[in-house]
Structure 1
Amino acid sequence: MRRKNRKKFVYLFITFIILGSFLIFLDLILRPAIIKVAESKTQLMATKIINEAVQKNVSMINYQDLMGIHKDNDNRIVLMMPDTVLINRISTQTTLDVEKELEKMETQGFTLPLGLVTGSTLFSNTGPPIRIGIIPVGMIDVTMEDEFVEAGINQTKHRIYLNVNTNLQIVVPFLRSDVNVSVDVPITESIIVGPVPEWYMKFNSQGEMTVPGINPRMGE
């Protein structure tokens, strides 16, 4: 009787060791996959939120609203000056909208089927759901930026866009990972015919004007 009990105990012990080893093996394989898929999903969700927030606040904005153009008597552009009041309003409202929607993400989170993280197309929608939590970390940085791009002979394209940068933390059972989300969303653009003025008021990181400076393109 004792021999049978001892043999049963050995079988149970071996089974426990095999099962434990298998679970550890699965954990080592699935842990990076879970993090990778969760980070990708979080990036997509946050990017969608940022794009929608920006479009909501600039849908009725055109180039002339943001940039004042001053010309001389020969109709040549001599000064370009951004509307700082409007820029600050857009940046502030966009920050508030993104913050509000990210807070909803934190409350709702999302789930991933276990089959999705295995990389199998056949079983991508199968398996128990894995709950993913999202926590906004740090500030939401919204800046308006611009760039000049050559657009043809004697033509320059002036692009204006918002850069939105924030950090999120994804939380999986026993796992955490930080995700940086940085999105450039185009707002408006215009073609400048003729040379870009040597002097113009530039955007800075607060959406305000700097003192007149030399257009960096002029030195190229």
Structure 2
Amino acid sequence: MRVVEAPTPTMNRPSFLAPHSSLLTPNPSLLLSHPPSFRINYHEVIVMLCRKKLSPVRRKLRKYIAILLAILILLTVYIELAVKRQLRDVVIRDMQTLSEQAVTMAVDDYLAEHSDRGNRMCDITYDNGSVAAISTNAAYINAAKTYITEQAQDYIDSLSHTQGVSVRLGTFTGMMFLSNFGPDIPFSVDSTQTVSCEFQSSFESAGVNQTIHHITITVYVDLLIYGPIRIKETVSTESSFEIAQTVIVGAVPSYSGVVTY
């Protein structure tokens, strides 16, 4: 018996599913003539981000930040214009007082340590009961100048660092009736000082055959102040003290004027 195999059925594939070489392989000529382009419009992206609706919390936060920045700017301008002027006046006044206080302390120290200064600063020569000459001891006077100058500089340095300058909070308002209100606000002040002094000798009639010989010292202080808020000022003080007084008995040659040395 012969067996006949039935033919295997074949399914006809639709034409649109049939492989086509033109669809599977790209055409180089088309790629070269029409290259793909990808362009991002950044302007439109920024506009879209800006137009994005913010939440109420973010809007309030942005508003508070803007208000805070405005307050800080106004406060900075106020400090530069008003507070600096008020603080400058206070710094100059306090440093003048400090300078005078330091000079007074230096002179007081000298007077306490040199009780015999009157007899050592000048020598009086008599001739037949009359004053023939009055000479000054230059070495002793120069030593006194050096002592007082160095002491004054030391006191200015120590007082400026220990005391400094303190300003009442009400002073910054610029109103006189509020200048003594509020707590004290301390400020550090640096200074460079130059101290010099000179002696003066003068005579004063005190009756018959009596003359008073005065020796005074004048101390000059120049302070270059470096204060807060870029304050840079120069302060000058002048203080005079009588450090010796001698009563001369006898006729004294007529003389008028002051001798400085």
What TM-score results when the alignment is normalised by the length of structure 2?
0.62
Q: Distance in 1 between matches of 2:249 and 2:101?
A: 35
- Given that 1:132 and 1:171 are in contact with CA atoms closer than 8 Å, whether structure 2 keeps it comes out as no
Checking the alignment, whether the CA contact within 8 Å between 2:121 and 2:136 is kept in structure 1 is yes
Query: Please, which of 68, 72, 93 is the counterpart of residue 147 of structure 2?
Result: 93
Pick the aligned partner of 1:46 from 99, 106, 128.
99
**Any idea what SS the aligned residue of 1:124 has?**
coil
1:164 to 212, 215, 219: 219
- Please identify which structure carries the higher strand content: 1
Percent identity among equivalent residues? 19
Q: What letter matches 1:81 in structure 2? A: S
- Indicate conservation of the 8 Å contact 1:109/1:133, yes or no: no
* Cα distance in 1, alignment partners of residues 178 and 232 from structure 2: 28
Residue 211 of structure 2 contacts residue 247 of structure 2 at CA under 8 Å; is this kept in 1? yes
> 1:116, 1:196 → 2: CA distance?
60
**Offset of residue 9 of structure 1:** 4.1
In the TM superposition, residue 155 of structure 1 has moved relative to its aligned partner by 6.3
Could you say which residue in structure 1 is the equivalent of 2:125? 70
Total equivalences in the alignment: 202
Structure 1 pair 150–12 and aligned structure 2 pair: CA distance change class (3 A): farther
The residue type paired with residue 120 of structure 2 is: D
Higher relative contact order (CA 8 A, sep 6+): 1
Could you tell me which runs of 5 or more consecutive residues in structure 2 were left unpaired when the two chains were aligned: 1-52
5+ long unaligned stretches in structure 1: 206-220
Is contact 1:109-1:131 (8 Å) kept?
no
Residue 179 and residue 116 in structure 1: after superposition, are their counterparts in 2 closer, same or farther (change >3 A)?
A: farther
Is the 8 Å Cα contact of residues 132 and 170 (structure 1) preserved in structure 2? no
8 A contact 2:212–2:245 mirrored in 1: yes
Whether 1:175 and 2:239 are equivalent positions in the alignment is no
Higher Cα radius of gyration: 2
Which sits farther off after the overlay, 157-166 or 103-112?
103-112
Match of 1:188 in 2: 244
| Distance in structure 1 (CA, Å) of the matches to 2:119 and 2:201 | 14
Q: Label 1:140 to 1:52 Cα distance change in 2 as closer, same or farther (>3 A).
A: same
Moved more, 174-183 or 188-197: 188-197
Match of 1:131 in 2: 187
Q: Distance in 2 between matches of 1:177 and 1:61?
A: 40
SS at match of 2:116: coil
- Counting only pairs closer than 5 Å after superposition, residues 1-150 of structure 1 correspond to structure 2 as 1-2=53-54, 9=62, 12-13=65-66, 16-59=69-112, 60-73=115-128, 75-105=129-159, 107-108=161-162, 110-115=164-169, 117-118=171-172, 120=176, 124=180, 126-127=182-183, 129-137=185-193, 139-149=194-204
Give CA deviations for 1:36-80 in whole Å, capped at 9, x if unaligned: 11111112122112112112112313533322222331x232322
Say what the alpha-carbon RMSD is for the aligned residues: 3.5
Q: What do the CA deviations read for 1:169-216 (whole angstroms, capped 9, x no partner)? A: 22222222121232212212245567752479x8544xxxxxxxxxxx
What's the counterpart of residue 213 of structure 1? none
Deviates further, 172-181 or 104-113: 104-113
TM-score, normalised on structure 1? 0.71
Separation in 2, partners of 1:15, 1:128 = 27
Give CA-to-partner distance per residue, 1:131-184, whole Å, 9 cap, x none.
Answer: 1313223x4212222234566788654321122222222222222212123221
